[in-house]
Chains A and B, each alone.
Chain A
Amino acid sequence: MSDSATESRAHKILRAIEPLIYARRKLTMGILLIITAFFAWQASKIQPDAGFDKSIPLKHPYMQVYKQYQESFGGANTILVALMQKDGDIYNSKFLHRLKQVTDAVFFLPHIDRSQVQSLFTPNVTYIEVVEGGFFGTNVIPADYPAEGDATPEMLAKVKDHVGKANIIGRLVSNNQHGAIVQADLLEIDPVTGEKLDYGQVANLIEDKVRGHFASPDKFIYKAKHDIVVGKDYQRKLNSPFKDGDVLFKQGEVVTDGYVPYSPLKRWITDFSAARHLDDGSAVDVFVSGRLLDVEQVKNEDYTPDIEIHIVGFAKVVGDVIDATFQVVLFFLLTLVMTMILLWLYVGNFKLAVLPLVCSITAVIWEFGLLRMFGKGLDPFAILVPFLILAVSVSHGVQYVNAWVGEIADNGRNSFDASLFTWRRLAIYGTMAIMTDVAGFAMIGLIPVGIIQEMALNACLGMLAIIITNKVMMPIWLTWVGVGDPKAFKAKQDRRDGIFDGVWRLLSNMTNPKAAVTALVICAVLLGLGLWKGKDLQIGDSQKGVPELLPDSRYNNDNAAIVSNFALGTDLIKVIAETDADACINSGVMDQIYHMAWTLDNTKGVQSTLSLPELSRLVYSIFVEGSPKFYVLARNKDALGQAIKPIAPPTGMLNESCSAMPVWTFLGDHRATTIKRVVDVVKDFGDTNSKEFFETHKDVDAKYCDAKNEARRDLGTQKLKLQHMTEVLHKKGLSDDQVNADSGIAAQQKTLGDADDKLKGMDKQCPVNFALASGNVGVMAATNELVEQLEKRILLYVYIAIIICVYLSFFEWQSLVSIMLPLALVSWLAYAVMAVLGIGMKIATLPVVALAVGIGVDYGIYVYATLADACAGGYTLKEGYFKTLKMTGKAVVFTGITLGFGVATWLFSGLQFQRDMGKLLVFMFTANMFGAILILPAIASFLLKPRKLAPGEKPVMVSRH
């Protein structure tokens, strides 16, 4: 059916490559082993690499706003530490002392944005009180509060009084005043050193120095096992004051202490932060590997069982996911072992069972090695990719071994010939199937989110590695595998093969018109069902808390405790009101912002809002002796100026020039529907507000103001670019002077100046631009919009890529219909399954779509190729399909069942994310298997026409390549 020119081209390619593999097998294998050893060495150095910035769609307009104002209004990368007194309120010396200690501990964590730390003990938290003739404002904790020892009851009463007046109940103090919060923001890139935050390490530090310090009954002292020498045990950093050969810590010297018990394994892989004191009294932070340390357990004097500590934040989630990595890997191993045992049962030969696994593990080693060489680490949220590589590799490996056994048993060839003939028959189909996966993943990489692009790269590298390990390594190895007496082997295989003949015979009826039509009708019904249920698929999160972790995990319990005790909770979206400099004394502008906040306040799902106009009301009323009748937005410019004055930029309510003011909007949850509702309200309000503005301000129009908004965004973008360039140079170790002298920096400064002039030139007043969005929910909003917008399109691209690849494999339209239809059906059903299981479509689950297609296409190509070969060889459809099932079909069934069982163990994982993926994968592995062996032949039976045999001619099984 394919044209002869292609066939000969395929032949030519095969003939050209064959000698590379089969001519000098030992040499080739040797080279492969050396490369594998090199990659293994590279892979051993791979680091977990989590990142907040790469998990957000930085190109999305919301995120440009977020980055532009991150410096002024903090980011979304927040950490909340809540201390809850078990009995009684927070107004006792011990609690307040602990709160101060936690505040200090948080303050000194690496990469903390220290200006944004807030608790009762930080100077940016104050209150105002009315007195005759004016008013009075100062810190909530009085200046004479004792640093050590107990505070007097009068002092505690004063603190309580101030807390009431500062209006922080519900945010920094719990609703019933039994708890208090320390809030902080993490900076992913240190602006001074340009270094990237290590989330795992920060999470460990928070767990240890903050929670462990008070919640653990034990304390652990870490001492040097032997002299720790710079250069040998400790790698110097840039600008390090040490020389190679310096002794950092002497043997037995206390290096650091901690409060959280580490398992020996975890201690081995953890770097402990320690302070090395220099002769001049200053201290340098160093990180010392746990394997150099001895641990001694003592009693923790600061153990405070009557205070509970809850911690939430992205860093903590990453930490918990990394902590679970060990378990994830354990489940992978379990899956592997199960696969191996089943494989052994299947081929009845241990050597042959191990082979596909060894090749698969080699592929993963290559994948890690390549990833590391690309300068990437393994993201904890992409931990499933290696397993996916393993699964695809096993699927191909089983096909290969299966075919090889067939060559020996059925055609009586020796190991070498069997390998060669298998190679000739499967190399092109197998490679095309893998290339199809590569194309699919490359398409996923079109999603402009760092983590997904990394995942796509990761998967593509792995797939390419599979081509080498499965199409080069395995064939060579198989030439060396002896099967003993070929006759006995054949007899054994025939006997084993015969067991399922009844099943295959039954399944081959799928090609009967009646069965085929029935199957197609069932498919149509399923498709309808899938489309109907799939509509319920949520974009984003569909539950409270963090969906990656179990609902009853400590993190989600912490989250629930904070949400239930503090009115404001943890879900925040900041709408940035953008306008001109000094706009906060313009009552017209402030009125627009105030009205936006009030509209949000009245939106379902919004708990409350906080904004500069709102705050100005309190100060204004205080200026008028506290009268509630002046608890309004001041109408007069000067009065407004006075009301704004006490509210400084560090509060996060306005920027330095007062040209941007965020409306902090606290939500009850972060369900996708809630986020969408809030976003829609903001957009609608902006539109209506602009329209009303243009009606009363005839000197400007939408076009002018759109251009002005664009100029403002451009200014922000240029600023960020300059900042980024500076960070990069800092990271290279350049000093400030050197950075300023850099020509690129100078050019960027000029561009920035031009952008600034352009915006300043547009001095006509425009309606307030309500820009979305910052805060953790702002990030979610952007991500959800992106996923919603791209999900269908990316799926389309994936399908187009696969269609092209499948067509290139067979050069016939029948292959497309037969392979793609079952695949499409499973994709739609996968959506329905996600909807039913309550798994939202989000960044982490998006690649699953490609995964489903990737696994399914392998099955389809193998089954279709053999069936089409059989038909071309003159077999009737039914006989041909029986033959197919015996040759490739049983391997498909086996792979589907094996991988399905393997991932079913994930349902017991400690990570909700892995559980969810487990459920989805079980469905996909088995559904695709059924699609390939039940639906594919049903469709093909209408499309493939068996070759008419001449009288007396026997049908033959020949590869059409």
Chain B
Amino acid sequence: MKTETRVLGALGLAACAAFALATSAHVSAQDKPTGEGAAADAPATVPVSVRPRPAEIMPRAPQALVMGVANTGEHLIAVGDHGEILASNDGRNWAQLAVPVRSPLTAVSFVDAKDGWVVGHDAVVLHTADGGKTWTLQNFQPELENPFLSVLAIDKDHAYAVGAYGLFYKTEDGGGTWSEVSAPVIKDAGLHLYSIRKLGNGDLFIAGEQGLLVLSTDGGKTWNKQKSPYEGTFFGAVPVGAKGALLCGLRGNAFLTSDVRGGKWQKIDTTAPTSLFGCEAVDAGTVAMVGLNGIIQLVDTATGKARNLKSPGDTPYSDVVSFKGGLVLVGESGIQHLDSLN
């Protein structure tokens, strides 16, 4: 399936590609239109996708693009393209659940075995209160033309969602209302926010494009930009220890600190300039990083040393979760697993 789903190969890129790319190679946030502007240009007729339509149950969903995965403690929940939410008890057999929307879903976060949120494109927010059996649509704004890229469930009532071009929402009533978070430092930058996490000490930590790092030390009341060790993109952040964190990003750039507030980052030697799109704690002293070409690296957070694992795939991974002594990996070719970390 891996070659099959994306066999665009040669076709993808014609001879004129080089020219087209040369003219538009440097893409920065400023070049991109904002959601509002584009929406104003949109034709008067209503786009088809404007009405949420339930996701279809498709046999090949577990082999198609899957972008996020989480362990609720009882099940594994994975989310992906076409609005698919998949559940598994063993990491191998996956069942697709009924979901009221078919937008691509990017991330998943659970408070406990019962309550959790899923976010995705078209600013979709989905919520479950029964461990994933049923999902309700709490937010759907295709007119924004922006996706949520990461979600953080704090407790039954509180959750944050971050996304493209500084998209930053929260709920304080279990998803009854989702509203924009007032954070000028984020809104002004207008950058993609790829990850929001809660650190060991309760600080809220956001990582994103152009090395953007934002921290809230007061439970989300105020947000402050942190000094960054890198000007490229961070795709993931993981809490390490009581107040530290690990960052993974573009072209093999990964950094470790034992104190985020202190801002002293140690560069991890990742051996290859391969982009790392997701990172997750495996145990107290180890973080797994995954990314382009199916790369899997394990970082010892005590030493900051990274080592490669033999990958079951060669297409990009988006997210990873530790499961039964091994890893469950999700990405462009669907869900794969690794039985051990040797």
Co-assembled chains A and B = yes
Q: Which residues of A contact B (CB under 8 A)?
A: 118, 122-128, 130-140, 164, 166-172, 175, 567-568, 586-588, 591-592, 595, 598-599, 601-602, 607-608, 610, 614-615, 618-619, 623-633, 635-639, 642, 645-653, 666, 692-693, 696-697, 699, 765
A122 and B9 alpha carbons, distance in the complex (Å): 13
A632 and B53 alpha carbons, distance in the complex (Å): 17
B5 close to chain A: CB less than 8 A: yes
5 tightest CB-CB pairs across the interface, nearest first?
A168-B9, A125-B10, A648-B14, A608-B4, A170-B3
**B293 cross-chain contacts in A, Cβ below 8 A:** 164
B149 close to chain A: CB less than 8 A: yes
In this complex, the member of A175, A601, A627 whose beta carbon has the largest number of chain B beta carbons within 10 angstroms is A627
Q: Are A651 and B58 in contact (CB under 8 A)?
A: no
A592 and B53 alpha carbons, distance in the complex (Å): 13
Of the candidates B1, B20, B33, B47, which one forms a contact with A588 in the assembled complex, judged by CB atoms under 8 Å apart?
B47
Interface positions of B from 16 to 65, Cβ below 8 Å from A: 16-18, 20-21, 24-27, 32-33, 35, 38, 41-43, 45-51, 53, 56, 58-60, 64-65
A587 and B50 alpha carbons, distance in the complex (Å): 11
Which segment, of B129-137, B177-185, B296-304, B313-321, faces chain A?
A: B313-321
**A642 cross-chain contacts in B, Cβ below 8 A:** 24, 27
Of the candidates B12, B32, B147, which one forms a contact with A615 in the assembled complex, judged by CB atoms under 8 Å apart?
B12
**B3 cross-chain contacts in A, Cβ below 8 A:** 167, 169-171, 175, 567
Q: Are B10 and A140 in contact (CB under 8 A)?
A: yes
Q: Are B6 and A614 in contact (CB under 8 A)?
A: yes
Of the candidates B10, B18, B275, B292, which one forms a contact with A651 in the assembled complex, judged by CB atoms under 8 Å apart?
B10
Given A636-B38, A638-B38, 8 additional A-B pairs, CB 8 A = A124-B14, A134-B25, A138-B18, A607-B4, A608-B7, A623-B27, A625-B275, A646-B16
**B250 cross-chain contacts in A, Cβ below 8 A:** 132, 625
Q: How far is the CB of A626 from chain B (nearest CB, A)?
A: 5
Q: Are A632 and B121 in contact (CB under 8 A)?
A: yes
Q: Are A134 and B21 also in contact (CB < 8 A) when A626-B316, A628-B332 are?
A: yes
In this complex, the member of B15, B38, B250 whose beta carbon has the largest number of chain A beta carbons within 10 angstroms is B15
Q: How far is the CB of A190 from chain B (nearest CB, A)?
A: 24
Q: Are A618 and B12 in contact (CB under 8 A)?
A: yes
Q: Are B9 and A167 in contact (CB under 8 A)?
A: yes
Q: Are B17 and A648 in contact (CB under 8 A)?
A: yes
**B317 cross-chain contacts in A, Cβ below 8 A:** 628
**A599 cross-chain contacts in B, Cβ below 8 A:** 56, 58
**A131 cross-chain contacts in B, Cβ below 8 A:** 251
**B17 cross-chain contacts in A, Cβ below 8 A:** 126, 128, 137-138, 646-648
Q: How far is the CB of A592 from chain B (nearest CB, A)?
A: 7
| 13 A-B contact pairs sorted by A residue (CB < 8 Å) | A136-B21, A166-B10, A169-B7, A171-B7, A568-B7, A598-B64, A631-B67, A632-B147, A635-B122, A638-B33, A642-B27, A648-B17, A696-B48
**B7 cross-chain contacts in A, Cβ below 8 A:** 167-171, 567-568, 608, 610
Size range of the chain B interface in the assembly: 35 or more
Q: Are B277 and A645 in contact (CB under 8 A)?
A: no
Q: Are B51 and A696 in contact (CB under 8 A)?
A: yes
In this complex, the member of B8, B42, B232, B314 whose beta carbon has the largest number of chain A beta carbons within 10 angstroms is B8
Q: Are A123 and B59 in contact (CB under 8 A)?
A: no
**A626 cross-chain contacts in B, Cβ below 8 A:** 275, 277, 292, 316
Q: How far is the CB of A747 from chain B (nearest CB, A)?
A: 37
Q: Are A137 and B142 in contact (CB under 8 A)?
A: no
Q: Are A624 and B60 in contact (CB under 8 A)?
A: no
Contact with A along B54-81 (1 / 0, CB 8 A): 0010111000110100000000000001
A615 and B277 alpha carbons, distance in the complex (Å): 20
Nearest CB in chain A to that of B147: its residue: A629
Of the candidates B50, B122, B192, which one forms a contact with A696 in the assembled complex, judged by CB atoms under 8 Å apart?
B50
A651 and B6 alpha carbons, distance in the complex (Å): 15
Nearest CB in chain B to that of A637: its residue: B38
Q: How far is the CB of A386 from chain B (nearest CB, A)?
A: 45
**B251 cross-chain contacts in A, Cβ below 8 A:** 130-132
**A588 cross-chain contacts in B, Cβ below 8 A:** 47-49
Q: Are A646 and B41 in contact (CB under 8 A)?
A: no
B331 close to chain A: CB less than 8 A: yes
Q: How far is the CB of A665 from chain B (nearest CB, A)?
A: 12
Q: Are A126 and B14 in contact (CB under 8 A)?
A: yes
In this complex, the member of B15, B38, B48, B58 whose beta carbon has the largest number of chain A beta carbons within 10 angstroms is B48
Q: Are A130 and B26 in contact (CB under 8 A)?
A: no
Of the candidates A595, A624, A635, A647, which one forms a contact with B14 in the assembled complex, judged by CB atoms under 8 Å apart?
A647
B284 close to chain A: CB less than 8 A: no
**B8 cross-chain contacts in A, Cβ below 8 A:** 167, 610, 614-615, 618
Of the candidates A128, A619, A631, which one forms a contact with B65 in the assembled complex, judged by CB atoms under 8 Å apart?
A631
**B292 cross-chain contacts in A, Cβ below 8 A:** 130, 626
Q: Are A635 and B145 in contact (CB under 8 A)?
A: yes
A650 and B11 alpha carbons, distance in the complex (Å): 8
**B314 cross-chain contacts in A, Cβ below 8 A:** 164
B272 close to chain A: CB less than 8 A: no
Q: Are B275 and A130 in contact (CB under 8 A)?
A: yes
B106 close to chain A: CB less than 8 A: yes
**A128 cross-chain contacts in B, Cβ below 8 A:** 12-13, 17, 21
A213 and B60 alpha carbons, distance in the complex (Å): 43
Q: Are A693 and B48 in contact (CB under 8 A)?
A: yes
Q: Are B81 and A126 in contact (CB under 8 A)?
A: no
A132 and B28 alpha carbons, distance in the complex (Å): 11
In this complex, the member of A132, A646, A652 whose beta carbon has the largest number of chain B beta carbons within 10 angstroms is A646
A205 and B47 alpha carbons, distance in the complex (Å): 53
Q: Are A127 and B13 also in contact (CB < 8 A) when A587-B47, A608-B4, A637-B41 are?
A: yes
Q: How far is the CB of B246 from chain A (nearest CB, A)?
A: 18
Q: How far is the CB of B21 from chain A (nearest CB, A)?
A: 5
**A598 cross-chain contacts in B, Cβ below 8 A:** 58, 64, 82
Q: How far is the CB of B144 from chain A (nearest CB, A)?
A: 9
Of the candidates B9, B45, B59, B104, which one forms a contact with A172 in the assembled complex, judged by CB atoms under 8 Å apart?
B9
Q: Are B10 and A619 in contact (CB under 8 A)?
A: no
B235 close to chain A: CB less than 8 A: yes
Q: Are B60 and A601 in contact (CB under 8 A)?
A: yes
Nearest CB in chain B to that of A598: its residue: B82
Q: How far is the CB of A486 from chain B (nearest CB, A)?
A: 82
Q: Are A608 and B145 in contact (CB under 8 A)?
A: no
Q: Are A125 and B9 in contact (CB under 8 A)?
A: yes
A122 and B13 alpha carbons, distance in the complex (Å): 12
Q: How far is the CB of A452 from chain B (nearest CB, A)?
A: 36
A124 and B8 alpha carbons, distance in the complex (Å): 12
Of the candidates A123, A137, A632, A653, which one forms a contact with B11 in the assembled complex, judged by CB atoms under 8 Å apart?
A653
**B255 cross-chain contacts in A, Cβ below 8 A:** none
**B106 cross-chain contacts in A, Cβ below 8 A:** 629
Q: Are B232 and A696 in contact (CB under 8 A)?
A: no
A676 and B158 alpha carbons, distance in the complex (Å): 52
Q: Are B11 and A610 in contact (CB under 8 A)?
A: yes
A601 and B50 alpha carbons, distance in the complex (Å): 24
Contact with A along B104-117 (1 / 0, CB 8 A): 10110000000000
Q: Are A587 and B58 in contact (CB under 8 A)?
A: no
Q: How far is the CB of B259 from chain A (nearest CB, A)?
A: 28
**A632 cross-chain contacts in B, Cβ below 8 A:** 65, 81, 104, 121, 147
Nearest CB in chain A to that of B17: its residue: A646
A140 and B9 alpha carbons, distance in the complex (Å): 10
A627 and B235 alpha carbons, distance in the complex (Å): 8
**A591 cross-chain contacts in B, Cβ below 8 A:** 47-49
Q: How far is the CB of B74 from chain A (nearest CB, A)?
A: 26
A127 and B316 alpha carbons, distance in the complex (Å): 16
Q: How far is the CB of B196 from chain A (nearest CB, A)?
A: 14
Nearest CB in chain B to that of A131: its residue: B251
Q: Are B121 and A635 in contact (CB under 8 A)?
A: yes
Interface positions of B from 88 to 145, Cβ below 8 Å from A: 104, 106-107, 121-122, 142, 145
A666 and B7 alpha carbons, distance in the complex (Å): 11
Q: Are A639 and B32 in contact (CB under 8 A)?
A: yes
Of the candidates A633, A646, A666, which one forms a contact with B13 in the assembled complex, judged by CB atoms under 8 Å apart?
A646
A588 and B24 alpha carbons, distance in the complex (Å): 24
